[in-house]
């Protein structure tokens, strides 16, 4: 049997395939873990901080202090037009009975999210006009005598932070190619593989 | 049994219209594909580019279409698109000296110096990722159309 000579082009193809395999393995290893709190989807947005004096007891009792409530409304998180001629904003009002406050200790794994810091979850209850389902909305953390108020990410990231973070007016493009870039890379690979499969099945010519 | 051979009739109206429309459709495809502010993206723009080539092949026949889009160029585009996308990921790793993650776009420092972190992401997404997707989609569509449009008698001539 005569051993087949390895052509230069075949060698290049082999090297390319090995490099692509290495890239794929690297990409899989490099993905942020599910529930990673620093990944783009799970990161909290910091709103403001207030002095903690006397407010912790109120939070533990399940009542949102008036300071935090007023400050969120000053920032524009209220239902109704924030300026004359504006459209109504869909933020929930924080009236008593519309929300629930729950203390979550450090190290809890809940709802696909790992809490590296303990804090108070402010959730919107069912029956709110714009938020019909139970939803975590604010997260309050105590640190060095201050209460830091965060907002949960998903509604914030898409509607408010897209342009600031990615300089794109179009939030769909940023979602497709930036926040979910790995997904789109896989889609493109699927298209290339499908095209190669069609060539192998359908092409009936001797040479390319 | 020999199939009837129909004589190929040229139609001056269709050919002139196709010649006029072909570059305009290509331009429209590029407009859809490049940039981040528009309503389109790589997939849509690539499909429009492929539609331009398919239009041309339908009018002028696949032999003249082959001159517009040779098989070598087609195969090059098909893989170049994926390499552009992966290259956008590699650029971030290389320019940060392996400090940043794959596709971690703010690490593209020559661009971040001029347009900022957000601008670097926008640049990579708008000009590398979208164009890469578009090239792959276009080449895949056009190559499938060429394969399906191939006739039997030409296969006998050119085969083996």
- Per-residue pLDDT of B111-120, as tens digits, reads 777 887 788 8
The answer on pLDDT for A147 being more than 60 is yes
Q: What is the DSSP letter of A137?
A: E
The beta-carbon contacts of B97-106 under 8 Å, at least 24 apart in sequence, are B101/A30, B102/A23, B102/A26, B102/A27, B102/A30, B103/A27, B103/A181, B103/A182, B103/A185, B105/A178, B105/A181
Q: Give the per-residue pLDDT at A190.
A: 93
Determine the Cα–Cα distance for residues B106 and B109; give it in Å rounded to an integer: 7
Using the beta-carbon criterion (under 8 Å), do A195 and B71 form an inter-chain contact? no
Using the beta-carbon criterion (under 8 Å), do A204 and B79 form an inter-chain contact? no
SS3 for A49?
strand
Q: Which of A160, A167, A197, A166 is nearest to A181 (CA)?
A: A166
Instruction: State percent of chain B over pLDDT 70.
Output: 88
Determine the Cα–Cα distance for residues B115 and B107; give it in Å rounded to an integer: 13
Q: Give the per-residue pLDDT at A79.
A: 67
Instruction: Evaluate whether residue B125 is within a structural domain.
Output: yes
Using the beta-carbon criterion (under 8 Å), do A23 and B86 form an inter-chain contact? yes
**Ranked by mean pLDDT, which of A195-204, B112-121, B130-139 comes out on top?**
B130-139
Q: Which of B99, B98, B127 is nearest to B111 (CA)?
A: B127
Average pLDDT over residues A117-146: 77
The answer on pLDDT for A19 being more than 70 is yes
The answer on pLDDT for B160 being more than 50 is no
B140 touches chain A (CB under 8 A): yes
**Contacting residues of B for A168, CB less than 8 Å apart:** 36-37, 121-122, 125-126
Q: How far is CA B50 from the centre of its chain?
A: 7
Q: What DSSP assignment string belongs to A154-166?
A: HHHHHHTSHHHHH
Burial class (CB in 10 A: 0-12, 13-18, 19+), A122: buried
Shortest CA gap A187–chain B (Å): 9
B40 touches chain A (CB under 8 A): no
Instruction: Evaluate whether residue B1 is within a structural domain.
Output: no
Within 10 angstroms of residue A103's Cβ, the number of other Cβ atoms is 13
Count of domains for chain B: 1
Instruction: Evaluate whether residue B158 is within a structural domain.
Output: no
Report chain B's mean pLDDT, rounded to a whole number: 84
**Contacting residues of A for B96, CB less than 8 Å apart:** none
Average pLDDT over residues A161-177: 76
The Cα-based distances of B130 to B26, B44, B53 in angstroms read 15, 10, 19
pLDDT digits (tens, 9 = 90+) for A175-198: 788 777 888 888 999 999 999 999
> Considering only residues 159 to 178 of chain A, which have any Cβ-Cβ distance to chain B shorter than 8 Å?
164-170, 172-174, 176-178
Instruction: Evaluate whether residue B160 is within a structural domain.
Output: no
Using the beta-carbon criterion (under 8 Å), do B36 and A189 form an inter-chain contact? no
Q: Give the per-residue pLDDT at A111.
A: 66
ipTM of the complex: 0.83
Instruction: Evaluate whether residue B79 is within a structural domain.
Output: yes
SS3 for A48?
strand
Instruction: Please state the pTM of the whole predicted model.
Output: 0.66
Task: Name the more confident of B136 and B3.
Answer: B136
The Cα-based distances of B103 to A6, A19, B3, B6, B99 in angstroms read 35, 17, 56, 54, 12
Look up residue B115 and give its two tokens: 């347009």
Q: Give the per-residue pLDDT at A86.
A: 66
The answer on pLDDT for B156 being more than 70 is no
The answer on pLDDT for B136 being more than 80 is yes
Q: Which of B128, B142, B132 is nearest to B74 (CA)?
A: B142
Determine the Cα–Cα distance for residues A111 and A97; give it in Å rounded to an integer: 23
The answer on pLDDT for B134 being more than 90 is yes
The residue whose two tokens read 């940060």 is B96
Strand A109-110 and strand A146-151: pairing? Answer: unpaired
Which of A164, A170, A181 shows the shortest C-beta gap to B118?
A164
The Cα-based distances of A105 to A118, A121, A149 in angstroms read 4, 10, 16
Report chain A's mean pLDDT, rounded to a whole number: 76
Q: Which of B125, B144, B146, B145 is nearest to B134 (CA)?
A: B125
Instruction: Evaluate whether residue B157 is within a structural domain.
Output: no
Q: Which domain holds residue B109?
A: 12-152
Instruction: Evaluate whether residue B7 is within a structural domain.
Output: no
pLDDT digits (tens, 9 = 90+) for B72-107: 999 999 999 999 998 888 888 888 777 777 777 777
The answer on pLDDT for B27 being more than 90 is yes
């Amino acid at each position: 049997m005569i051993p087949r000579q390895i052509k230069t082009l075949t060698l290049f193809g082999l090297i390319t395939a090995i490099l692509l395999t290495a890239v794929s393995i690297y990409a899989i290893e490099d993905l942020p873990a599910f529930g990673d709190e620093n990944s783009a989807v799970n990161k909290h947005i910091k709103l403001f901080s207030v002095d903690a004096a006397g407010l912790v007891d109120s939070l533990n009792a399940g009542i949102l202090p008036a300071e935090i409530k007023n400050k969120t409304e000053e920032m524009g998180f209220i239902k109704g037009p924030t300026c004359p001629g504006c459209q109504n904003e869909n933020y929930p009002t924080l009236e008593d009975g519309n929300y629930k406050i729950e203390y979550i200790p450090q190290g809890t794994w809940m709802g696909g999210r790992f809490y590296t810091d303990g804090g108070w979850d402010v959730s919107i209850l069912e029956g709110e006009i714009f938020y019909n389902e139970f939803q975590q909305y604010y997260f309050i953390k105590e640190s060095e005598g201050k209460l830091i108020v965060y907002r949960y990410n998903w509604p914030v990231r898409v509607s408010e932070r897209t342009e600031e973070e990615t300089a794109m007016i179009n939030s769909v493009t940023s979602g497709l190619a930036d926040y979910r870039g790995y997904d789109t890379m896989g889609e493109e690979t699927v298209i290339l593989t499908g095209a190669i499969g069609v060539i192998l099945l359908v092409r009936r010519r001797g040479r390319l | 049994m020999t199939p009837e051979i129909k004589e190929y009739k040229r139609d001056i109206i269709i050919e002139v219209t196709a010649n006029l429309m072909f570059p305009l459709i290509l331009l429209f495809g590029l407009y859809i594909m490049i940039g981040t502010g528009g309503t389109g993206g790589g997939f849509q723009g690539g499909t429009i580019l492929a539609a331009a080539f398919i239009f041309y092949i339908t009018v002028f026949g696949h032999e003249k279409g082959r001159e517009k889009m040779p098989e070598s160029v087609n195969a090059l585009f098909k893989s170049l698109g994926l390499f552009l996308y992966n290259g956008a990921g590699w650029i971030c790793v290389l320019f940060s000296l392996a400090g940043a993650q794959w596709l971690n776009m703010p690490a593209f420092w020559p661009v971040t110096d001029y347009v900022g972190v957000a601008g670097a992401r926008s640049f990579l997404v708008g000009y590398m990722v979208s164009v890469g997707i578009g090239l792959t989609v276009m080449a895949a569509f056009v190559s499938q159309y060429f394969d399906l449009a191939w006739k039997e008698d030409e296969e006998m001539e050119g085969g083996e």
